[in-house]
Amino acid sequence: MPDQLIYAIEVFFNGLMAGVLYALVALGFVLIYKASGIFNYAQGVMALFAAMTLVGVMEGQVPFAHLINAVLGTKVHHFGWHLPALVGIVSTVLVMVVLAWLVQRVIFKHLVGQEPIILFMATIGLAYFMEGLGDMMWGSEIKKLDVGLPQGINLWIDEATYNIFDYGFFIDNLDIVATIIAITLVGSLVIFAQYTKEGRAMRAVADDHQAALSVGVSLNFIWIMVWSVAGFVALVAGIMWGTKSGVQFSLSLIALKALPVLMLGGFTSIPGAIVGGLIIGVGEKLFEFLVGPLIGGATENWFAYVLALLLLVFRPQGLFGEKIIERV
Amino acid sequence: MFYREAGDFSTTYREDSQTFPIKFDRYRYYAVLIIAFAIIPFLLNDYWVNAIFLPFLIYSIAAIGLNILTGYCGQVSLGTGGFMAVGAYATYKLMTAFPEVSMVVHILLAGGVTAFVGVLFGLPSLRIKGFYLAVATLAAQFFLVWLFNRVPWFYNYSASGQINSPERTLFGIPITGANTEPWAVYLFCLVFVTISAVVARNLTRGAMGRKWMAIRDMDIAAEIIGVNPLTAKLSAFAISSFFVGVSGALFFSVYLGAVEVGEVFGINKSFLVLFMIIIGGLGSIFGSFAGAAFLVLLPVLLKNVLVTGLGWPTDLAAHLEFMIVGFLIIVFLIVEPHGIAQLWRVAKEKLRLWPFPH
């Protein structure tokens, strides 16, 4: 087999893994969008915030330490404990639930019935607010996140492929774990939506707010629940990306990567988010590998957008989205 | 007491349809122009121009441009930063290629180039709507920034990848480069701002503006009553991008002088201008100014209060600024979706009845 083709296959698999991570972020978007019609731009910042909180709790940082020090002139920074990952994750989930409740209570309760684009802009405001809040609470330096996930090259695959192609594929253990976790997460979300009472209520709300209200579903509860679930998905995404490249500002930019995924797959479709994520992940890696060197590289920044843009011109609802019907 | 339409009679159609039909408004407008052109230039120093007036004036043009597209025509764009970059790089290429041609021509041409690029990226708006379009304009943002970063022709193969504006003069007075006088650059930008505002105001209250607003309110209905969505949407994209391009050109050549594209015209710039028109008021020219003033003054104010006044570290003040901006966006969307411009309108309405409330 020619070398180029083998490299391309390796790039393909790495793209697939990256795509899973994009899909994970996109999933959070789809959940909120389906249930409340809100396009949550803040999803990426939520992932960053969740990861920061996790690190902060595990390392025993004092929240708002900088602020307290600046105002009171003290020198507090750490409580001096180190918590196991599980405790950190549980308390971060609690924080995300409280956040979901606050977001619903303080912001979106007052914006019910507004145009979607207004809601979208409100989430941009929320993203800014949370970005500032996260930095203020936990400090803006790059943090290392280690919850005990395996990292580094997978030797087994390296060896197996070396025996076949004479060239060992580099595939990160973390990516494999991420894929498994993402599949589990998606599976459990689907089961949750199909077979539990709350899941059914959630689908009812997604279908028709008023009809759901009239059969006694509490919109408020469902929305808080959905935001909490999205917060949890954000936490998982935050852990994956945070372990991979450190908890830092650029983590919030994965939201920007997830947007074309959504456009490609359709805003309302969970399978669409996953397929879209895989297409974008593979597409951008292959494009960078094949065409990138010819036109100056770093095409990953825009390839996904241009691909999605071109697709939208032909299929405005995305690959799996519901057909848009407009009435006057 | 002073703010009355009573006793102010229009005797011709021309008078009846002027921009400021109420006498007090008209005098206020002239007064603002006189202060801006004849008084402020004498009081300026470097700090005021660079920290407040230039950013305010230049962002106002960008905000007017985006307001035409988003506020009047209802097409949300997150590509403003990218289009400003087009304006900046177009002026740079023109300035270096034709040094003898006047700056005014270059800046207008840069606006024209941006308008063309804007139409190109506006084409998908004929098929997709709402936040699908908003996300699609991000394609423009990322693609354009990448293009200017990676294709050396755009920055004349300079080693740093930056673009620097060479010195150019207008009537013998330097307006770009290192040896500028505060009043000269201020006046230069002010002229552009004034013309932009007048043109935009008149466009939006004419036939074109009505078409845009019809598209914004309900595009299918607009199509049925005979508005051509193709020309209406694309003209909004073209004109909006023209203003944004002019502002990008001024931002680079007059204000900053040296630009690294990813830093200056990144996605944050797009959001900043979008926030200006949300806070200022969607669909209002005055709102564009109010929003630009607000978001230019806020960081300066916070910095003076927190860093200079209370002695906080700068990074903390920056975080607080993020929180405040985000918080204000949400508050405005909840309490007053039409922004400062609406508050102004309400105030004027109250003033008309004052001191008798009924």
Question: Rounded CA gap, B83 and B63, in Å?
Answer: 12
Residue A93 maps to a domain: yes
Residue A155 maps to a domain: yes
**Domain ranges across chain B:** 39-266
pLDDT band, very low/low/confident/very high, at A327 (cuts 50, 70, 90): low
In terms of DSSP bridges, do strands B163-164 and B258-259 run parallel, antiparallel, or are they unpaired? antiparallel
Phi then psi for residue A195, to 5 deg, are -115, -10
Q: Report the pLDDT value the prediction gives residue B114, as an integer from 0 to 100.
A: 93
Q: Report the pLDDT value the prediction gives residue B59, as an integer from 0 to 100.
A: 92
Residue A275 maps to a domain: no
Question: Rounded CA gap, B319 and A166, in Å?
Answer: 52
Which of the 8 DSSP states describes residue B128?
A: -
A-B contacts (CB, under 8 Å): 141
> Is A259 within 8 Å of B138 when comparing Cβ atoms?
yes
Q: What is the CA radius of gyration of chain B?
A: 21
Q: Report the pLDDT value the prediction gives residue A1, as an integer from 0 to 100.
A: 58
**Which residue, chain included where needed, has tokens 């944004």?**
B244
Residue A4 maps to a domain: no
| Cβ-nearest to A118 among B221, B320, B333 | B333
> Is B322 within 8 Å of A135 when comparing Cβ atoms?
yes
Burial B217-246 (b: 16+ CB within 10 A, else e): eebeebbeeebebeebbbbbbbbbbbbbbb
Residue A272 maps to a domain: no
Which of the 8 DSSP states describes residue A216?
A: T
CA distance A266 to chain B (A): 10
Residue of B157, B271, B277, B316 to mutate when probing chain A, most A C-beta within 10 A: B316
Whether the per-residue pLDDT at A7 is higher than 70: the answer is: yes
DSSP A252-300: GGHHHHHHHHHHHH-TT-HHHHHHHHHHHHHHHHHHHHHTHHHHTS-TH
Question: Rounded CA gap, A238 and A260, in Å?
Answer: 19
Q: How far is CA A228 from CA A31, A112, A119, B49, B271, in A?
A: 10, 19, 18, 47, 26
Which stretch of A233-242, B287-296, B301-310 has the lowest confidence by average pLDDT?
A: B301-310
Model ipTM? Answer: 0.79
The crossing angle, in degrees rounded to 10, of helices B80-97 and B54-66 is 120
B78 touches B244 (CB < 8 A): no
Any residues with CB less than 8 A from the CB of A146 and at least 6 apart, and which?
Answer: A243
> Is B320 within 8 Å of A129 when comparing Cβ atoms?
no
Residue A80 maps to a domain: yes
Number of domains in chain A: 1
List chain A residues with CB under 8 Å of B330. 107, 122, 125-126, 129
Mean predicted confidence (pLDDT) in A309-313: 79
Residue A327 maps to a domain: no
B108: its two tokens: 């207008």
Domain that holds residue A69: 25-264
pTM: 0.85
Question: Rounded CA gap, A99 and B331, in Å?
Answer: 18
Q: Report the pLDDT value the prediction gives residue A324, as an integer from 0 to 100.
A: 67
The three-state DSSP-derived secondary structure of B4-17 is: CCCCCCCCCHHHHC
Any residues with CB less than 8 A from the CB of B219 and at least 6 apart, and which?
Answer: B74, B129, B229
Whether the per-residue pLDDT at A148 is higher than 80: the answer is: no
Q: pLDDT digits over A40-96, tens only?
A: 888 888 888 888 888 888 877 777 777 777 777 777 677 767 777 778 888 888 988
Q: pLDDT digits over B216-268, tens only?
A: 888 888 888 988 888 898 999 999 999 999 999 999 888 888 888 777 888 88
